[in-house]
Amino acid sequence: MPDDRSAADGGRIGQVAVIFAAWRTRADAAGYAAAAAAMDALAAQQPGYRGVDAARGDDGFGITVSYWADEASAVAWRAHPDHAAVREAGRGRWYDGYDLHVTQVTRSYAWRRAQGEAEA
């Protein structure tokens, strides 16, 4: 469990959380992994980037939540040319479908075994 999450999550109120829920195809696992790693690295360099959480199960369904300082930075990342190119590739090869929800964080809680719960 990364230690830096705890500090970051106290401050998520007002952030934009982009929920990306996607069904992977079985195709091109290596190409997908490489593109996903490249996108993670590129996203982290964007202005307003505030972190990411991601989980994918064996059934191919995964959820990625990226956090942004505000709507403008989330929209700018959506419009980034490299991101758009990968999105096209994703539609062609890697995904059977996805949902994307842009949200605004109104409340945040974090709990760690060592620390107890703190409401932000």
Closest separation between CB of residue 42 and a second copy, Å?
20
Walk across the sheet containing 61-68 and list its strands: 16-24, 61-68, 49-56
Query: Rounded to an integer, what distance in angstroms lies between the CA atom of residue 15 and that of residue 48?
Result: 9
Helix (H) or strand (E) run with residue 118 in it: strand 116-119
Closest separation between CB of residue 58 and a second copy, Å?
8
Q: Cβ closer to a second copy: 38 or 109?
A: 109
Short-list 57, 74, 60, 51, CA closest to 25: 60
Binding site for a second copy (CB under 8 A): 1, 5-6, 9, 12, 17, 19, 21, 23, 53-58, 61-63, 65, 71, 91, 95-113
Closest separation between CB of residue 51 and a second copy, Å?
10
Query: Rounded to an integer, what distance in angstroms lies between the CA atom of residue 49 and that of residue 13?
Result: 14
Q: Cβ closer to a second copy: 41 or 55?
A: 55
Q: Cβ closer to a second copy: 49 or 98?
A: 98
